[in-house]
Amino acid sequence: MRRKSHLRDSIFLTSLFTIIGILAVFFPLSYFLTTDLTQDNARDYSRQLLGQIKNSIEFYTEEMIMISGYLADHPDVRVYLEGENPLAPSSYSLYQQRARISSELKAISGTRQDLVNIILFREDGDFITNREHAGLTPYWDYREFDWYQETVAAKGLPRLSSSRVENVIAGEHRWVVSLSRAIYDQDHLLGVLLIDLNFQTIADICSNLSGQNGAYVFIMGANDELVYHPQQRLIYSSVKSERFDLVRRSEAIESVIRDGIIYSSVKIKSADWVIVSVTDTRQMVQVSPLVIVTYIGIGLVFALIALVVSLLASRRLTEPILALKNSMQQFQQGDFNAQAQITATNEIAELGDQFNSMTQQIKTLVEHERLIEEQKRKSEIQALQSQIRPHFLYNTLESIIWMASSGEQDKVVEMTSSLAKLMRASASKAREMVTVQMEIDTVSHYLRIQKLRYQDKLQYEIEIDPEVLLARMLRLSLQPLVENAIYHGIKPLRDGGLLVIRAYRAGSELLVEVADNGVGFAPDALHASLEASMDEGESIGLHNVHNRIQLMFGKEYGVSVRSAGPGQNVLDQSDFDPAAGIRTIVSIRLPLVFE
């Protein structure tokens, strides 16, 4: 027989060396994983940052484009650009148009501090600006500059320039970004609209949303010229450089990592601009000597803990030898849950394993059979219940669409409110069994929806014995029966019909009835309503409810249908008021159970 110390020593040494080996691999690996994770987080953050700035810039530029489009299509602007020289004596009306245009430009610029200049150039050299007494720079022909020529070449499309110094107004040299648009009458150029935007507005959007840890954003124009850069002067003076070759002109955000620096770029839709975010991750993952010392200290602490835990564990595994004897005695007395808690000594390991295997197999076989039957029953119930909901939701939404198309908004609100309450009750994670009161409340929401749809064509009554309000029944078992009565009983009637819901006690049973004076069932359809397969649509509600009840309570309970046959005006042997003309009764029979 082997000595007990052999197993204890083996476990101790194996555990100790395993933990030390894991620590030796873990710390270097954790550094590389941390580096990768830091870069991934920085890249995700830069993409989120870029998305926010992109949305802000697009919103701002699209707003400016809308202003330019509004002015380009303004009737007075069109007449002014097509008209004669406003200085001519016969052009008094053009003077008025000029004043109106000038007032419109002032009104637009007066509400926005970011608009520096709004100038409307006519092809003959005349112009209108938003600023009174502002004149053009002498000997300055705007038609000779690149922005004008590129605007004319754009054929009426708005064009955003890069940042530049605007010297169109005499005595001013402002740093702006210009939006220009050529105005045509078919193929004839009438003039050009120039809107100078304060460069600081673009700078504020980018700087306010820029990230931390040295992350920043810059904007490039169509020809790789800078529109904005937080260190623009250093770039122009070649003190600082950027990797423009890493910028991608894509409408989806793309990221490139070079030497620990992440370049994320995206093209905006409203202008031929590319927004670029730059994040330097090298400072984030730099390891200091203090971190190295900390890692070594943690490793030593873990090694010490591993030494103590391994020693205690190896000793404890050799102690419970007598547990096998006690477990066998318990099993002899009929306790099939008896288990020998011995898993660490060579002397009794094989005997303990065989004993545990025997008891576990017996217990597993019994438990396995029970679980299979229980799971089968639950799965069938859930499958049947899930088939009711899409069928019901389709018909209810059809009702709402019909009401909305009729323009009856108040009723749509009421119908939608009832639908929300109904769906809240249907989608809640309630128990399978609910009270009769709760089920009646749910079906009442459904009936109010259908009442709004069919109006006078649908009448309904609910008669519930107070004694059974707290009785238990299957959740969502009543609504499919009501739906079936409306669609297949009352709906085909020309003059509408009556639906009655009753719930009362019948000895030790609960009876819930849904009756209607509709068209009734044909004899073969009456039988098929409860025997239909899952692939048949019209009676799927009755079939599902019937199967759910029988799976839950047994074959003696379920759904039954009585219906007037051909030639019968009302249902025989019915205790309903004969004046109601009841022709079909669908009954749910359940055991009477209270909470």
CA–CA dist 43, 49 (Å, integer): 10
- Residue 5 has, within 13 A of its CA and on its CB side, a CA count of 0
Q: pLDDT tens digits for 307-316?
A: 777 777 666 6
Domain ranges, ordered by start, for the chain? 1-319, 326-362, 374-591
Task: Of 173-187, 220-234, 372-386, give the range with the top mean pLDDT.
Answer: 173-187
| pLDDT per position as a tens digit, 182-224 | 898 888 888 898 888 887 887 887 777 665 666 788 888 777 7
Per-residue pLDDT tens digits for 430-463: 677 899 999 999 899 989 988 887 888 999 999 9
Check residues 566 and 493 and name the one with the higher pLDDT. Answer: 493
14-61, pLDDT tens digit by residue? 766 777 777 677 667 766 676 677 777 777 777 887 788 888 888 888
Threshold 0.75, pTM exceeds: no
Out of 3.20.20.210, 3.40.640.10, 3.30.565.10, 3.30.950.10, the CATH code matching 374-591 is 3.30.565.10
Grade residue 89 by pLDDT with cuts at 50, 70 and 90: very low
Average pLDDT, the chain: 77
For 173, the enclosing helix (H) or strand (E) is: none
Contact by Cβ (8 Å): 524, 485: no
Relative to beta strand 558-563, strand 584-591 is antiparallel
Q: CA–CA separation, 506 vs 511, rounded Å? A: 7
Average pLDDT over residues 103-127: 84
Reported confidence tier of residue 133, pLDDT bands at 50, 70, 90: confident
What single-letter DSSP state applies at residue 144? G
- Within 10 Å of residue 93's Cβ, how many Cβ atoms? 11
Residue 169 CA to chain centroid, in angstroms? 51
Q: Does 292 have pLDDT greater than 80?
A: no
Angle between helices 346-405 and 323-332 (to 10 degrees): 60
Q: Does the structure show a pLDDT above 70 at 581?
A: yes
Residue 182 contacts residue 71 (beta carbons within 8 Å): no
- Please give the CATH architecture assigned to the domain spanning 1-319: 2-Layer Sandwich (3.30)
The pair of three-digit structure tokens given for residue 496, joined into one six-digit string? 């509408």
